[in-house]
Structure 1
Amino acid sequence: MNKKAKIYIAGHRGMVGAAIWRALEKKGYSNLIGKTSKELDLRNQAAVNSFYQKEQPAVVIDAAARVGGILANNNFPYPFLMENLQIQNHLIDGALKTGVEKFIFLGSSCIYPKLANQPLKEAYLLTNSLEPTNQWYAIAKIAGVKACEAIRKQYGKEYVSLMPTNLYGYFDNFDLETSHVLPAMIRKFHEAKINNTSQVTLWGSGSPMREFLFVDDMAQAVVYALENNLPEHLYNVGSGRDVTIKKLAETVQKIVGFEGKIVWDRTKPDGTPRKLMDVSKLKEIGWEYSTELEEGIQKTYDWFLENIDSIKKVKLE
């Protein structure tokens, strides 16, 4: 890939998009484009088409989405379905119409059936029912995967979809109301340490198993997809290793330095017992993760401490 090629990163202000931007800059890519949601409303097809006509990017990386947790997905199903369809469809269709040869679409492991066998293989897509609480977001992402597959099949362009596992890292969302489990633990244990609290209460039994990937590793997977011709249209991206929530909590506790007790509130739900990605397809063609969980949590906590005064809810632009 020419280091001067014009690369548009949609969602460059979000955790994933920002990591991709950093990774590309570090490798010497000098013609990166990013637009905030105020500068370019991706839900507006005419605006997106006008942007493409003006900028003529060689590559598009779609890290833009309306995101949220279970509560938001349940309470606002229509915008989670429609706005995500609008964002990705305008980006994908506009890219095709303006001759973009390479498009990297980022999705989520929630595209796979709720009761699929573990670990989750790419072949399991559309083989059973989705998790009801986030089906609206999942259906939109599935449509994006299928759109890229269709373009690849019909036009022979390099449109590829990468499905990450649970991501964490720099610029994560540490808001206790809306954050995911790992950043929420970091904040809870830190505040308990600062306030000399004797215990931290966490939901469930601690027995479910989850897989995590440091966001800078995800960015490296995107760089790999950019610089290589991937033979298939869909790849899982993860570590291929999971850990119990209990072990995760103990690791975060140690890194933060909280010396109190962890109490598990078993009246709260555990969620899915296990959610592990099969990442063998990407590994077989030459990419695998490099940041172990403890190292990644340490880096994330260091960043959290450096930015504690300005940390707020992070949205993908």
Structure 2
Amino acid sequence: MKIYVAGHRGMVGGAITRRLQARKVAGEDLQIVTRTHKELDLTNQAAVRDFMDSEKPDVVILAAAKVGGIHANNTYPADFIYENLMIECNVIHQAFAAGAKKLLQLGSSCIYPKAVPQPMKEDALLTGTLEPTNEPYAVAKIAGIKLCESYNRQHGVDYRSVMPTNLYGPGDNFHPENSHVMPALIRRFHEAAQTGQEEVVMWGTGKPMREFLHVDDMAEASLFVLELDKKTYDANTDPMLSHINVGTGTDVSIGELGRMVAEVTGYKGRIVQDLSKPDGTMKKLMDVSRLADMGWTARVSLEDGLKETYQWFLENQDSFRK
């Protein structure tokens, strides 16, 4: 079986690729196809068409996306909506045109409305207004879900979508401005500990609640959903809501997360909240009962995941200097 992993150099795509490679070593008949951004620009329709026509993958895993935190989403909204829409349209359509019967698209929990009952169920999609700080990215991800649903309905293919909660782990982006909250805090507290800073400033009140899923768990969940037989998958999935939440089902306040990161990195100074900065949505917790009913639950605890991620950061921090 030939599997194309789009975005294999990203955090999630990398974790999925590592698992597929381990299976191949263990004897599974797999041909894993990857391309770097330099080799294949997924926003280029003609290039994606030629690639799909040439490779003709049996399965496509779409883990490629332009991602970032609140600052990046606020600063580059046009980039986020354009690039993600183009990637999804090109990969999904050209995969279909090349004969791929199975496809898994990775989305985000930001697809759900800002004011939505917690924990967030799959059927909350399109029931309210999105969080303004990441609306362009969310709109693009919703379009990806609807693309998969529409191709399933019209063409009878098996294209599925998984919506992860906040992800973290080895391979994350630790850029000081354009990263998500977890890697941003790890880098900030690490540098503060190393330089002896008396205080670390965190955005907002620290009260928002967030759920965090280790990337290795996400990789396992992605392959689990991809490989579910259609009878089991269809029994747990409304064809008009063919996306599945992936998370831990538990959350932590951003303030508490900051204290956990401070402990892991050895920071002993003060933590100060900058109340002039936005909090974003006050609570985002996934309802993961559908995936649990299918037979999968997360395994990596936040405490263990934080320690592992910080160790990876220490081993790779020279690459984050730029």
For Structure 1 versus Structure 2, the TM-score category normalised by the shorter chain is over 0.9
Alignment of 1:78 with 2:78, yes or no, is yes
Partner of 1:6: 2
Would you say the 8 A contact 1:111–1:139 is kept in 2?
Answer: yes
Deviation track 1:240-263 (CA, whole Å, cap 9, x = no partner) reads: 100011211111111112222222
CA contact (8 A) 2:131 2:281 kept: no
Mapped to 1, the partners of 2:77 and 2:196 lie a distance apart of 40
CA distance 1:195–1:207, shift in 2 (3 Å): same
For structure 1, which segment, 199-208 or 11-20, has the greater mean C-alpha deviation from structure 2 after superposition?
199-208
TM-aligned CA distance change 1:59 to 1:297, over 3 Å: same
Distance in 1, matches of 2:253 and 2:170, equals 23
**2:119 is the alignment partner of 1:119:** yes
**Which moves more between the two structures, 211-220 or 23-32?**
23-32
Q: Distance in 2 between matches of 1:44 and 1:83?
A: 10
What is aligned with 1:23?
Answer: 19
CA distance in 1, matches of 2:221, 2:83: 26
Structure 1 position 277, deviation (Å): 0.8
Contact 2:115–2:128 under 8 Å retained in 1: yes
Equivalent position of 1:143 in the other structure? 143
Provide the C-alpha distance between the structure 2 equivalents of 1:26 and 1:78, rounded to a whole number of angstroms: 38
Aligned to 2:184: 184
Contact 1:173 1:312 (C-alpha < 8 Å) held by counterparts: no
Check the 8 A contact 1:236/1:282 in 2, yes or no.
yes
Match of 1:297 among 295, 306, 312: 306
Residue in 1 aligned with 2:283?
274
Change (3 A) 1:186 1:79: closer
Secondary structure of 1:222's counterpart equals helix
Show the counterpart of 2:33. Answer: 33
Secondary structure of 2:299's partner?
coil
Q: Distance in 2 between matches of 1:83 and 1:265?
A: 32
Moved more, 254-263 or 244-253: 254-263
Alignment coverage as a number of residue pairs = 309
How big is each residue's C-alpha offset from its partner over 1:160-203, in whole Å with a ceiling of 9 and x where there is no partner? Answer: 00011100111111111111111111111111211122322222
Letter in 2 for 1:170: P
Q: Is the 8 A contact 2:248 2:298 kept in 1?
A: yes
Residue 195 of structure 1 is matched in structure 2 by 195
Alignment of 1:1-317 (within 5 A): 5-28=1-24, 30-229=30-229, 230-231=233-234, 232=237, 233-311=242-320
TM-score of the two chains, using structure 1 as the length reference: 0.93
CA distance in structure 2 between the aligned counterparts of 1:202 and 1:71, rounded to whole angstroms? 13
Provide the rounded CA distance (Å) in 2 between the counterparts of 1:66 and 1:270.
22
Q: Deviations over 1:13-33 (max 9, x none)?
A: 111111111121122354111
* CA distance in 2 between partners of 1:199 and 1:41 (Å): 42
The AA in structure 1 aligned to 2:315 is E
1:191–1:161 distance in 2 versus 1, CA, 3 Å: same
| 56 and 109 in structure 1: CA distance in 2 versus 1, 3 angstrom threshold | same
Q: Would the aligned equivalents of 1:88 and 1:144 in 2 still touch at CA under 8 Å?
A: yes
Q: Tell me: CA distance 1:140–1:271, structure 2 relative to 1, closer, same or farther (3 Å).
A: closer
SS at structure 2 position matched to 1:252: helix
C-alpha contact (below 8 Å) 1:210/1:275 kept by paired residues: yes
Question: Comparing both structures, which one devotes a greater share of its residues to helix?
Answer: 2
CA distance in 1 between counterparts of 2:185 and 2:290 reads 32
- The one-letter code of the counterpart of 1:281 is R
Identity of aligned residues (%): 54
Aligned partners of 1:107 and 1:144: how far apart in 2? Answer: 8
Structure 1 residues without counterparts, runs of 5 or longer: none
Tell me how far 1:267 sits from its aligned partner. Answer: 3.3
> Alignment RMSD, CA only?
1.6
1:73-94: CA deviation from partner (whole Å, max 9, x where unpaired): 3343333222211111111111
**Aligned equivalents of 2:250 and 2:319: distance in 1?**
32
CA distance in 1, matches of 2:270, 2:133: 32
SS at match of 2:319: coil
Kindly provide the amino acid, as one letter, of the partner of residue 151 in structure 1. Y
| CA-CA distance at 1:312 after TM superposition | 5.6
Structure 2 runs not aligned, ≥5 long: none
Distance (Å, rounded) in 2 between the aligned partners of 1:160 and 1:98: 17
Post-superposition offset of 1:12:
0.8
Which AA in structure 2 matches 1:271? G
Which stretch has the larger CA shift, 131-140 or 119-128?
Answer: 131-140
Equivalent residues of 1:69, 1:179 under 8 A apart: yes
Question: How far apart in 2 are the matches of 1:178 and 1:76?
Answer: 10
TM-score, with length taken from structure 2? 0.91
CA contact (8 A) 2:72 2:177 kept: no
Amino acid of the residue matched to residue 277 of structure 2?
K
